[in-house]
Amino acid sequence: MKKKRLLPFFLIVATAFVGCEEKKQMTDNPLLLAYDTPFNVPPFDKIKDEHFKPAYEEAIKVHNLEIDSIVNNTEEPSFKNTILAIENAGSLLSNVSRVFGNLSKANTNDSISALDKELAPVLTGHYDDISMNSKLFARIKTVWDKKASLGLDAEDIKLLENTYKNFVRSGANLNDANKTKLKKINSELAGLTVEFGQNVLAETNAFEMVVDSASQLEGLPESLKSAAAEDAIAKGKEGKWLFTLQNPSVMPFLQYAQNRDLRKQIWEAYQMRGNNDNAHDNKEVLRKIANLRLEKAKLLGYTSYAAYVLEESMAKNPTNVYELLNKLWTPALSKAKGEAADINKEIKAQGGDFEVAPYDWRYYTEIIRKNRFALNEDEIKPYFSLPTVREGAFAVAHKLYGLTFVALNNVPVYHKDVEVYEVKDKDGSHLGLLYADFFPRASKSGGAWMTSYRSQSKKEGKRNAPVISIVCNFTKPVGDQPALLTFDEASTLFHEFGHALHGLLSNVKYRSLAGNLSFQRFCRITISNYGKLGG
């Protein structure tokens, strides 16, 4: 009898213990707490990889409860209790997704990559369940149908329109059988697109071209040789030179290296990423993505995936895109043929007996530019030091908008190379924060993009300041010298900075209408591991 009486007691104690442990995990997880940091930025110094999965699980749970509250509201659907409620739901999930999504692109590792693959279908399924919730969509449609009588202002109307269209384009009008099909397609696409991006990064990191003779480096600028020597030392290959498929390495090598065989080697490695019939091959991945996208488009009533994607763009449809491309094709082709002819003349003038190949183009273009215009790009790089170009961008923003940028040292960052600036408006008030992550590394995807950790919005008339980030892959500093940018890199900095200004100067009521990525679009891009987050 004692045993029977004690058993429930032990069960109660065990259940309480498990509950306490779960609660402790939640309260110890910095992703689930209000950020106690300057400007309420993510506490990168406290966030660990193991925090992400439980944070996602809790955030999804909270988001579902918020959506259930909207669906089960017995009041007549209104803009406030339906459209605005949907807009405000999922803020916790937004916070977690923004941190994880940005780290998976800018500072990943094996743990984050594995979790990215695992979570992509889960997150896609979560958003699909919301988008295809028939009761929720019925409330949205009720508000949509009576929009003319609601007295909404322009921002309200835009939010309503976006919400309605997003649900329709996500399959809200499909029957149950087709909703099931679409969910399966989206889940597969989520996993495949993450796999594609991870394969490209793995292929990029796997290649190393080690040069052991200075005679093979003829034509290369001293800055590039010094950087290659430093990279070789870092890999335990002192006395040699290491070149990679990171843009600051491969592109100037193709531009300056006299050794044609080495140019060919690094070019072929660069353009064959994901096409080497190995564990990271992307051919089958791409085939599946293309077929699934077509299947998805047709399921939603479009003739092609291009028609689906372009509907909400300036072009509107593939016909308009092809019309523009066909207008460009003839003059562009003529120009390319003229440049090829010039290059072939230069090859023959130097005694070459070959026609121009892709790995020759940058090299001979540089020679022709020097001869024809007396312009040597390497000679102008000292004028494009990263600090100079960055301050130049800041000066332009000050001249145009009165903005000032103050470097901060008390804000947590996810990598030692990351810089943070407080952005102040022309009256000296706080406008937002700007993160800048400029240099390549094995944990970062290629390219350049702008993204955000917090979108601008308003609450009770008060502006919530945005936290914006630009991520690039520029030439690194060598020794005591500052990073010297190419003209293309300097242009890229201004380009991404322009996107950043769009986000920083945003002044709207709703976060999904802010001047950077909407939350829904951010989540979709994060899930698909797309190359440029907003840039």
- Residues with active-site annotation: 496
Tokens of 48: 């660990």
How far is residue 128's CA from residue 186's CA, in Å, rounded to a whole number?
8
Give Dmax over CA atoms of the chain in angstroms: 103
- How many Å apart are CA 528 and CA 305, to the nearest integer? 16
Q: Which residues of 1-34 are buried (b: 16+ CB within 10 A; e: fewer)?
A: eeeeeeeeeeeeeeeeeeeeeeeeeeeebbbbee
Helix (H, G, I), strand (E, B) or coil at 113: helix
In one-letter notation, the amino acid at residue 69 is: S
Give the whole-angstrom CA distance, residue 137 versus residue 148.
19
Integer CA distances (angstroms), 460 to 19, 234, 464, in order: 37, 53, 10
495/471 Cα distance (integer angstroms): 12
Find out whether 478 and 449 touch, Cβ atoms under 8 Å: no
Structure tokens at 35: 């950020």
Cβ(450)–Cβ(533) below 8 Å: yes
**Are residues 190 and 528 in contact, defined by beta-carbon separation less than 8 angstroms?**
yes
Q: Which amino acid is at 340?
A: A
Cβ proximity of 504 and 431 under 8 Å: yes
251 vs 35: CA distance, rounded Å: 41
What angle, 0 to 180 degrees and rounded to 10, lies between the N-to-C axes of helices 52-71 and 134-145? 50
How many Cβ atoms sit within 10 Å of the Cβ of residue 109? Answer: 13
Residues 255, 17: Cα–Cα separation, whole Å = 64
Residue type (1 letter), 317: N
Cα–Cα distance measured from residue 212 to residue 221, given in angstroms and rounded to the nearest whole number: 17
In the chain, the amino acid numbered 186 is N
Q: What sign results for the dihedral spanned by CA atoms 141, 147, 151, 154?
A: positive
Tell me the sheet residues that pair with 459: 462
Q: Are strands 467-471 and 430-437 parallel, antiparallel or unpaired?
A: parallel
3-state helix, strand, coil split of the chain in percent (to 5) is: 60, 10, 30
- Residues in the chain, total: 535
- Phi-psi category of 479—alpha, beta or left, where left has phi over 0 and alpha has psi -120 to 50? left
Tokens linked to 91 = 């803020």
3-state secondary structure of 200: helix
